[in-house]
Amino acid sequence: MDAEDIIEEVSSYSQAAHIVVTGGEPLIHDELGKLINALDSEGYHTTVETNGTIYRDTSIGLASISPKLASSIPTPARDPKGDGEWAEKHEQQRTDMTALTRLIEDYPFQLKFVVTDSTDIDEITNLVERVRQQTSVRVRNQDILLMPEGQTENQIAKKREDVADLAMEHGYRYTPRLHVNLWNDEAGR
């Protein structure tokens, strides 16, 4: 679909005022900036869910930045080629401080971390501190959200309390993974 077709589709939902752009890494697409600008000119608030490794100069209403932690590195079982190259590439490219700090400086933002277990908190704390040192924008603890990792409601339920406790302990916010809570790992949702 081109931008005009997307806007036409969006406008068919008369109650819609807030658009969330997500899926993989949406900012990888060159044309996305034009779509976001067009949505903005039509009066829509646009949230972009990004991992923070790509910067686009566009009309983002909220940059929902979810930096990838070391625990997100693909396991050998999930490597499509089975040669470890995917995991190595992921590790090298999972953080781009230049893009991350530009997103924070140029847009309203939140930092959202998917937490596998309590060992992730040191990496989160270190990354937040690096961001605070490298940007002129104030990054408040309330701008940081923690959510439990899991692809099913059952997996998330096992981690929910521990992640909520980590959030409270560090003054961060807790957020559920609503799409998983609602639809589990059902394809097509």
Q: Report whether 11 belongs to an annotated binding site.
A: no
What are the structural domains of the chain? 3-183 (3.80.30.10)
pLDDT greater than 90 at residue 70: no
Helix (H) or strand (E) holding 120: helix 120-134
Backbone dihedral angles phi then psi of residue 155, each to the nearest 5 degrees: -65, -45
Q: Read off the pTM.
A: 0.87
> For residue 3, which amino acid is it?
A
Q: What is the rounded average pLDDT of the residues 106-116?
A: 97
Contacts of 144 (CB under 8 A, 6+ apart): 110, 111, 113, 124, 128, 170, 172, 173
pLDDT band of residue 75 (cuts 50, 70, 90) is low
pLDDT band of residue 3 (cuts 50, 70, 90) is confident
| Per-residue pLDDT at 82 | 67
pLDDT higher at 107 or 76: 107
Q: Report whether 150 belongs to an annotated binding site.
A: no
Q: Report whether 80 belongs to an annotated binding site.
A: no
Q: Report whether 52 belongs to an annotated binding site.
A: no
Q: Report whether 176 belongs to an annotated binding site.
A: no
Structure tokens at 169: 């302990």
